[in-house]
Every structure is written in C-alpha cells, then in structure tokens.
Amino acid sequence: MKEKIILTGDRPTGRLHIGHYVGSLRRRVELQNSGEFKDIFVMIADAQALTDNAENPEKVRQNIVEVALDYLAAGLDPEKTNIMIQSQIPELTELTFYYMNLVTVARVQRNPTVKAEIQMRNFEASIPVGFFTYPISQASDITAFKATTVPVGEDQEPMIEQTREIVRKFNSVYGETLVEPEIMLPDDASCMRLPGTDGQQKMSKSLGNCIYLASGENEIKKAVMSMFTDPGHLKVEDPGKVEGNTVFQYLDAFSNEDHFAEYCPDYKNLEEMKEHYRKGGLGDVKVKKFLNNVLQETLRPIREKRHEFEKDIPYVYEVLKKGTEVSREVAARTLHEVKDAMKINYFDNEDLIKETLEKYNA
Ligand code: TRP
C-alpha cells in the first residue's frame, strides 16, 4: 500500500482564529496523533502570502512567528510534524517554473477561488502575475512532498483539482513521477465555514469579526455576548431560528454533551437546546452564556500554552529551522526526480552525456 503523507499550510497574514481552528487546525492535530501518516508537513506559506502583499513584506514576516505560535499552542508537535517556511525552500519555485508550462492562462482564469480573491482585492485591472499563478505554486507545495492527503477547507478545492491536473499532465508527458493528492475536507459540515461573530460569511481581520486562538478571556466574552443571533427573536417567548444563527453555528462546531452536563444541565445536548429555542422561551443571553463557557474551556489551554511558547521564541525559530531543513531535503529529492524525468539534469545524467557523445563520435 502507498504510504500516506500529509501536506497542508496557511498564509501568514494574521494570527489564526477559531475558524482556522475548527476548520483545519483541530483536525491536523488529530491526524498527527492518529499515527496513520508516514510524514506530515505543515507549511507557513509566506511566499504565497507575498503574492498579494508585495508591498507589505513586514506583515508577512511578523506573522510567520504568530502562526507558528498558534500551531504549537493548538498541539502540533514538532516531533511528529514538520513545520516549515515556504520561502526557504527554493526547490518549490523551481518546480513551479516547470509546472507553469503545463497550465493554460484560461485554466487559471477559471479557478473560482482565484476569481473571488481577485474581486475581493479589487485586482480586476491589475492582477500581479505572481498572484495569478499561485495555484501553480501551490501544486509545487503539494507535489514536492509527494503528499497523498491535503486537509484543507472547501475554498481550497480548486487548488487541489489544479494540482491533480498538473500531476496527470506531468506524468503523461514525462513518465510516472508525481503523486496525485486527495483533498480531505472537514468531516463535519459545521466546521466547513465558521461565520464571523457578526454573522457575515467569513471571519476576517478586516471585518473585525474574529475570535483569535490567542484572544483573552474578556475579549472572547465580549465577542460572544454581542454575537449575531436571530434578528426576529425579540422576546424570550418568541420562537427563534437556529439556522443562520451564529451562536448556534458556533455551538455546532464547539459544544459536546460534556459541556451541557457541566455548564447547562437543563439540556442533555444541543438538539434539546435548539428544540427549546425554536419553540420559544429560551433567551439569547442564556445561550450566549453557555457558548462563552464552552469557548473559554476550549481556548484557555491553547492560550496558556501559547504564552509558554511566547517566552521561548528562540525555540520557536529552532522548530521552524529544523522543520524547514528536513522538508527541503524532501523537496530537493522530488525536484531531482522531476528533472530526471524531463531529462534536464544535464550534468549528472551519464546517459545524456553518452547520447551526445555517440551522436558526434558515431
Ligand atoms: N492557499 C492556502 C491558504 O490560502 C495556503 C497554502 C499554501 C496551502 N500552500 C498550500 C494549503 C498547500 C494546502 C496545501 O490558506
């Protein structure tokens, strides 16, 4: 059986929030501890972050450590997971250059995530070439490590599909070399996309609707108590809507029966609580207080661990350096195989040299 290898990553453009946590980080830690994977690589994709932050390298640089701290605090263990910095692995750039020839401009233009990002950034008239090609660079990230499994959110689906196409194309042109990866989506729909605290589609720093992994107790409480609920649920007795109600969406993602036993024994589980809310007679404040307890319990140990790591930044850099070194060796091996398959390893392929010799000395 083919051994399973994980590759995934994040752009370091800000601290990670609890949307990242339920959408990917929590899962990564579970996968890491499952023992099912031969290797796990987690990439801090600073080079990709620069594709739309060219004028702001400082932001990207600062956030590399922030993201690393979030990883370690959430439970990624450098003994089991290679945490690496993308830009320090130049082999990835070289792979990208060769892959670019296997993808058409029209194909990249069809990528729905790229389209949405272009709109969001008002790039319509001035798309940086580097940004436009980042899905191809992401294919390098994935294939360099021969990843079989890419745990990401659904917005990354077009990137994985693009990667698979590149792999198929490469293998058919140059011979079986690369591994076709599979996407691994969150197994729980509630974790697919946690809305912002204001009920907006996405949590985003610029909208100010995030709760961060590093958020303090008061910050979390404030965010929860002012969270968007059902605007039609005015009086406690009114029937309320659970669908599209942010507080319940968060409870879907975070709460379990133990939380009910501990903080809200009136209900056995979330279903019972929702039932009551729908019928009327359950006030938002009670639900919010419960959510606050759940989030505090979940985030406290992460925040405390983060504070410990914050006191030892040299250790964090050491983790990144080691993880990057190990990863770079793997990427270099793949690049070598790629160039062998393409027959462009001119100086260390005896056969190529012999071929030329024979041509002229025949
Ligand atoms: N595009 C991902 C994001 O925006 C980050 C990323 C870069 C990534 N390279 C990757 C994710 C490779 C998975 C695999 O969050």
Region at 124 (left for phi over 0; alpha for psi -120 to 50; beta for the rest): alpha
Q: What is the C-alpha to C-alpha distance for residues 361 and 355, in angstroms, rounded to an integer?
A: 10
Q: Answer for the pair 284, 229: CB distance below 8 angstroms, yes or no.
A: yes
| CA 310 to centroid of ligand 1, rounded, Å | 25
Q: What is the C-alpha to C-alpha distance for residues 77 and 101, in angstroms, rounded to an integer?
A: 37
Atom of ligand 1 at shortest range from CA of 138: 9
| CA 138 to centroid of ligand 1, rounded, Å | 6
Residue located via tokens 């499952």 = 34
Question: Which segments of 18-63 are extended strands (E)?
Answer: 39-44
Q: Is the dihedral of CA 232, 238, 244, 250 positive or negative?
A: positive
| CA 287 to centroid of ligand 1, rounded, Å | 35
Average pLDDT over residues 70-99: 98
Average pLDDT over residues 255-277: 97
| CA 48 to centroid of ligand 1, rounded, Å | 8
Average pLDDT over residues 276-291: 96
Report the percent of the chain where pLDDT is more than 70. Answer: 99
Per-residue pLDDT tens digits for 297-321: 999 999 999 999 999 999 999 999 9
Per-residue pLDDT tens digits for 13-47: 999 999 999 888 999 999 999 999 999 999 999 99
Q: What is the C-alpha to C-alpha distance for residues 46 and 176, in angstroms, rounded to an integer?
A: 30
| CA 10 to centroid of ligand 1, rounded, Å | 5
Average pLDDT over residues 238-254: 95
Q: Supply the pLDDT for residue 24.
A: 87
* Closest C-alpha residue for ligand 1 atom 2: 10
| CA 130 to centroid of ligand 1, rounded, Å | 15
Q: Which residue among 6, 8, 63, 89 has the greatest number of ligand 1 atoms within 8 angstroms of its CB, and so is best to mutate?
A: 8
Q: Supply the pLDDT for residue 130.
A: 94
The closest alpha carbon to 211, from 309, 307, 305, 295, belongs to 295
Q: Supply the pLDDT for residue 134.
A: 97
Q: Which residue among 41, 84, 86, 152 has the greatest number of ligand 1 atoms within 8 angstroms of its CB, and so is best to mutate?
A: 152
Q: Supply the pLDDT for residue 271.
A: 97
Q: For residue 133, what are the CA distances in angstroms to 100, 136, 182, 290? A: 8, 5, 21, 45
Q: How confident is the model at residue 239 (pLDDT cuts 50, 70, 90)?
A: very high
| CA 355 to centroid of ligand 1, rounded, Å | 41
Q: Supply the pLDDT for residue 226.
A: 94
Q: Supply the pLDDT for residue 175.
A: 98
More confident residue, 188 or 75: 75
Q: Any residues with CB less than 8 A from the CB of 352 and at least 6 apart, and which? A: 343, 345, 346
Per-residue pLDDT tens digits for 50-75: 999 999 999 999 999 999 999 999 99
Asked whether the predicted pLDDT for residue 282 surpasses 90, the reply is yes
Report the percent of the chain where pLDDT is more than 90. Answer: 85
Hey, how many other C-beta atoms are within 10 angstroms of the C-beta on 15?
18
The closest alpha carbon to 99, from 151, 134, 64, 149, belongs to 134
Asked whether the predicted pLDDT for residue 84 surpasses 70, the reply is yes
Q: Supply the pLDDT for residue 192.
A: 67
| CA 134 to centroid of ligand 1, rounded, Å | 10
CB 197 near ligand 1, within 6 Å:
no
CB 139 near ligand 1, within 6 Å:
no
Phi–psi pair at 78, nearest 5 degrees:
-60, -15
Region at 268 (left for phi over 0; alpha for psi -120 to 50; beta for the rest): alpha
CB 20 near ligand 1, within 6 Å:
no
Q: Supply the pLDDT for residue 178.
A: 98
Per-residue pLDDT tens digits for 108-153: 999 999 999 888 888 777 889 999 999 999 999 999 999 999 999 8
Q: Supply the pLDDT for residue 122.
A: 82
Asked whether the predicted pLDDT for residue 189 surpasses 80, the reply is no
Average pLDDT over residues 261-268: 96
CB 142 near ligand 1, within 6 Å:
yes
Asked whether the predicted pLDDT for residue 91 surpasses 80, the reply is yes
Which domains does the chain carry?
Answer: 5-193+312-356 (3.40.50.620), 217-309 (1.10.240.10)
Q: Supply the pLDDT for residue 191.
A: 64
Sequence-distant contacts of 300-309: CB under 8 A, at least 24 apart: 300/217, 302/21, 302/73, 302/74, 302/75, 302/213, 303/73, 303/213, 303/214, 303/215, 303/216, 305/72, 305/73, 306/69, 306/70, 306/72, 306/73, 306/213, 306/214, 309/69, 309/72, 309/73
